[in-house]
Amino acid sequence: MAVNERAAKVEYVEVGPERAGQRLDNFLMQRLRNVPRSLVYRIVRKGEVRVNRGRVKPDYRLCSGDTVRVPPVRVSAPSPAADGALAKVLATRIVHEDDSLLVLNKPAGAAVHGGTGISAGVIETLRSMRPQWRDLELVHRLDRATSGCLLLARHRQALTHFNALLRRREVDKRYLALVARQWPHDMREVDAPLAREQAGPGQARDMGVDEAGREALTRFELLQSLPGASLVEVTIVTGRMHQIRVHAAHAGHPVAGDDRYGEPGFNRRLKALGLRRMFLHAHRITLADPAGESMTFEAPLDDDLRGVLDALESGE
C-alpha cells in the first residue's frame, strides 16, 4: 500500500470564503488526490471526517470558518501505465478549453473518477496531464458506458456558476440513443418518477420507475427510423441516475447494448452488426458562461457507433 503523502497525518483545515457552499465530499475529493470516491464516503460515514468536531453527511455545504478534520488515508498508488494510456486518449478528445471550462468528448468505457477497481478515472488523469489543471472539478457525470460531452470546471468560482445553472435547469443536454423498435412519433416525453430498487447483499441496485421516487422527466425526438430500431435525440430535464436508460426501457424501447435495462435479443442482433458498447452518446450541450454568454458544444458520434447505423441503413 502506498500512503497519500498529503493525508499522512490528521489535518485540521479551516474553510476559506472561496470554498463556502461547496459540498463536503467534493472538498475532500479535491484535497485527497487519488483517493477513491467510495473511500471518501466511507470515512465520512464512519465519522473519521468531522466539521467543527461534529459528524456531518457527505452533502453538507461548507461555511466560511468551518474547521474540517481530515484523517490520514491509505490508498493504492494509481497505475502509471493505465494513467498514461488514458491520458493519450483524452488528449485527442478535448473539445474546448478556456479559463473557466474544459469540455471533453469522454470515451465510452472510461469512468469519470476513480473508485472500486479503478485506480484513476477521467478527472484524476486530466489533473495529472497538466499542472495548471490541479483545481479541475467535474461539473456533472456520465455513466462509464456513455460517451460524449463532459463538462469540467477549471476553478472553484466556475464550478459554483455551472452548478447553479444545473440546479436551475438552465443547461440543455442532448443525447443520441439507438433504441429497440420504431419509436412512436407522438411519444414526446416520459414523465415517471425514479427510485433505487432493492438488491441482495453484494448486488448493485438498479433504478426503476416508482411512484414514491423522485421526479424524472425525459424528452425524446425521433430522428431516424431503421430496421427494428430508431435513432432518437434525448433531452433530460431532470438528472437522475440511469434516467435515459430506465425511461427508454419503461417506454418499451430500451437502449441498444444496455446490459442492465436492455433486451438480450436486441443486443445480440446489434452486436452482430458491430456494436460493442451501449449506444448512448452526449452529443450537444448548451449553457451560459460566467459572463452570461451562451455556449454550445458538440461531440460527433464515434466511428464505431456510426458504423452500426451504416450497417442498419444498408440492411445488413
Tens of each residue's pLDDT in the chain, 316 residues: 344 444 458 889 998 877 888 899 888 987 886 677 788 899 999 999 999 999 999 999 999 899 999 998 865 544 444 457 899 999 999 999 999 999 999 999 999 987 666 667 898 899 888 877 878 999 999 999 999 999 999 988 899 999 999 999 999 999 999 999 999 999 999 999 999 887 655 556 689 999 999 999 999 999 999 999 999 999 999 989 999 999 999 999 999 999 999 999 999 999 999 999 999 999 999 999 999 999 999 999 999 999 999 999 987 6
Instruction: Tell me the CA distances in angstroms from 190 to 97, 141, 194, 216, 271, one per residue in order.
Output: 34, 22, 11, 8, 27
Helix or strand or coil: residue 165?
Answer: helix
- CATH superfamily, region 2-75: RNA-binding S4 domain (3.10.290.10)
Phi-psi region of 34 (alpha: psi -120 to 50; beta: other; left: phi over 0): left
Mention the CATH class of domain 80-163: alpha beta
Instruction: Tell me the CA distances in angstroms from 45 to 57, 59, 195, one per residue in order.
Output: 7, 11, 22
Which residues are known to be catalytic? 143
Give me the count of residues in the chain: 316
Q: Which residues pair with 2 in a beta bridge?
A: 75
Report how far residue 83's alpha carbon sits from residue 87's, in angstroms, rounded to the nearest whole number: 6
CB 279 within 8 A of CB 255: yes
CB 299 within 8 A of CB 281: yes
CATH number given to 170-313: 3.30.2350.10
* Structural domain spans, the chain: 2-75, 80-163, 170-313
Report how far residue 150's alpha carbon sits from residue 209's, in angstroms, rounded to the nearest whole number: 26
CB 150 within 8 A of CB 121: no
Q: Nine-digit cell at 191? A: 414523465
**Model confidence, pTM:** 0.76
User: Would you say the CATH fold of 170-313 matches that of 2-75?
Assistant: no
